[in-house]
C-alpha cells in the first residue's frame, strides 16, 4: 500500500501497528507508515470512494 502523506510504498503486514498498545480498541486497522509515521487505515475505504468518484467524473 502507499502512504497518502509521503507516498512511500510499504507492506501493511510488515508495518508497525499504530494501535498495538491502545487500551480502547485492539487492532483498529490502522498501520503506521515506516517512513513518516502517518497512521493509515489498512483498508482505506475513503480511497476507494475517491477512486470511484474520480472514475465517475472521467465518464462524464
Provide the binding-site residues for Zn ion, judged by CB under 5 A: 3, 5-6, 8, 33, 35-36, 38
Shortest CB 7 distance to Zn ion, Å: 7
- Our CB check for Zn ion shows the closer of 5 and 52 to be 5
- Our CB check for Zn ion shows the closer of 5 and 26 to be 5
Q: Compute the C-alpha angle 22/27/33, nearest 5°.
A: 85
Distance CA 2, CA 15 (A): 12
Residues in the chain: 60
- Our CB check for Zn ion shows the closer of 3 and 18 to be 3
Amino acid at each position: 500500500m502507499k502512504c497518502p502523506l509521503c507516498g512511500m510504498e510499504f507492506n501493511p503486514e510488515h508495518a508497525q501497528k499504530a494501535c498495538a498498545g491502545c487500551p480502547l480498541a485492539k487492532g483498529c486497522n490502522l498501520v503506521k507508515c515506516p517512513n513518516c509515521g502517518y497512521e493509515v487505515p489498512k483498508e482505506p475505504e475513503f480511497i476507494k470512494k475517491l477512486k470511484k468518484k474520480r472514475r465517475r467524473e472521467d465518464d462524464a
